[in-house]
Structure 1
């Protein structure tokens, strides 16, 4: 039996236009970029992801015992009762109006609420510390007992001060006090050393017993401190948090410079992931409707949460005292 003509002949291959070939090449590049950037920085993504979660959950990786106290328990033990933010705000406004002609009234459209951490702490007799966090409006509290911190032998020179007048920030301040006027820059006052920025000189020494010490010399105060050379003193979770908050490219160049570099690359990668993910999603036509719905929900939720959090962060005077 002779097969029909349609079964004998395969359909002719679809010819690709130059435009379609170019589109395919671009999408291939995007997929490769998405993949290889992820492979390049996956340790850094893990680092920032894990350490970011640790900030919200400080009990992870630490020996902390917690006990919750209800409002009734706290009132029975201490006599403390919940505070009413409305009542306190009224009292504050009344005091302001008593001392000035401001004529202030509470804004009925803005809620009255507490912010910050009502935290009290004391050392534990066995080492460590006890921490009490109070809910001012709820009346309850949480008592936490933190285990003692790992200890090492204190350096014999701890607290010593070495005065080198020519090698202190005060000397730098004196030398550059006329710099801005000479550069034609209008300044209200001479340059001053920042009170919180303390550059350091770091080096190692060996004592008479051949023990090695890491020395830190504060170039602002002249104070000497340090610790025995060797493994660090921080717990693993604390080290992750320190790494997470390490930022800026150091002036004098060390391994932290490369850390800052990879932090930048990780940030760029996250942006590329977001944009390339959108491109790859759009390429898959069956998922466009559901994906568009997901993106809409994501943008709306992010806008709501970010705007609300930004409003809370900037509610008071948040101007810093940096240079």
Structure 2
């Protein structure tokens, strides 16, 4: 006898939505895990090198001495500067050469951002670096030992090759009618960036058949290069820092293009980690209240720190567009 369909147990209401939710969370957890496994070398590199930017003494062989303001005053002619007094002098000079009159805002105390960096060399081929605090006179002296042997400079280093038709000035002239032709009204002429310019890379061999990697700066027209077989001159921690700062997709493919791709994947993974972490937290009902409090505190702290840091970074600066 066939069973009566009416007597078959029906699925509990809401069972399918719960099943779909469970399947979705399984996908979230798997993505959270496998993306982390895919890019864990990049996350380690960016994390370690990011810490090294704040603590440059780690992994570097050098001596560091703290010098008091009293020692500086006894041994040199330097005396601490008063930022408010200096600001008043600046305003006085500004008013002397301008029809507009400016008054120093006494409610906002003056302050120095950054410090003077003075460098020198030592007898054994090392170098020294002195950082002075302008407002209190304290200083830090760092002495670095000689680095690894520097490869010989190419015979053509610093030579200037004048190819006016293949310089940034030529490109500037050739595209001067581009914006009007595109209908961009009121735009000023396009100018080549004064500090950033592309370079031509190629390899040559000298009379002794030694290969040289050559760079030709298309902005200045100057040549530079290094022997193709020269060993790397960067210490490991310096190499990490350079890798950390390498960004943008190059014009053509290659390992640098792959590097930029994995940098993108790492950034996307961090975003997905944050979002999937929230999803997994929400799934754990006993910890929702504690997690909500932690998230609220984290958002509040981040907002205060980020806004304060942004205010400090942008003080007196007008950000210009650029790549």
- Regarding TM over 0.5, the answer is yes
Bigger drift between 162-171 and 229-238 goes to: 162-171
Q: Which runs of 5+ in 1 are unaligned?
A: 1-13
Number of corresponding residues: 311
Q: Is the 8 A contact 2:127 2:145 kept in 1?
A: yes
Bigger drift between 42-51 and 106-115 goes to: 106-115
**1:61–1:200: structure 2 CA closer, same or farther, 3 Å change rule?**
same
TM-score by length of 1: 0.86
**1:145: which partner in 2?**
143
TM-score by length of 2: 0.86
Q: Distance in 2 between matches of 1:250 and 1:215?
A: 18
Q: Distance in 2 between matches of 1:297 and 1:145?
A: 43
Q: Distance in 2 between matches of 1:95 and 1:195?
A: 29
**2:116: which partner in 1?**
118
Q: Let me know the Cα RMSD of the aligned residues.
A: 2.5
Bigger drift between 215-224 and 167-176 goes to: 167-176
Bigger drift between 108-117 and 243-252 goes to: 108-117
**1:178–1:276: structure 2 CA closer, same or farther, 3 Å change rule?**
same
User: Does structure 1 residue 30 correspond to structure 2 residue 25?
Assistant: no
**2:260: which partner in 1?**
260
Q: Distance in 1 between matches of 2:296 and 2:107?
A: 29
| Deviation at residue 321 of structure 1 after TM alignment | 7.6
| Deviation at residue 173 of structure 1 after TM alignment | 2.7
Q: Distance in 2 between matches of 1:114 and 1:243?
A: 31
TM-superposition CA deviations, 1:107-142 (whole Å, max 9, x none): 344332211222222233332322111112222110
Q: Is the 8 A contact 1:194 1:322 kept in 2?
A: no
Q: Distance in 2 between matches of 1:190 and 1:91?
A: 37
Q: Distance in 1 between matches of 2:97 and 2:153?
A: 53
**1:129: which partner in 2?**
127
**1:144–1:282: structure 2 CA closer, same or farther, 3 Å change rule?**
same
Q: Distance in 1 between matches of 2:168 and 2:119?
A: 35
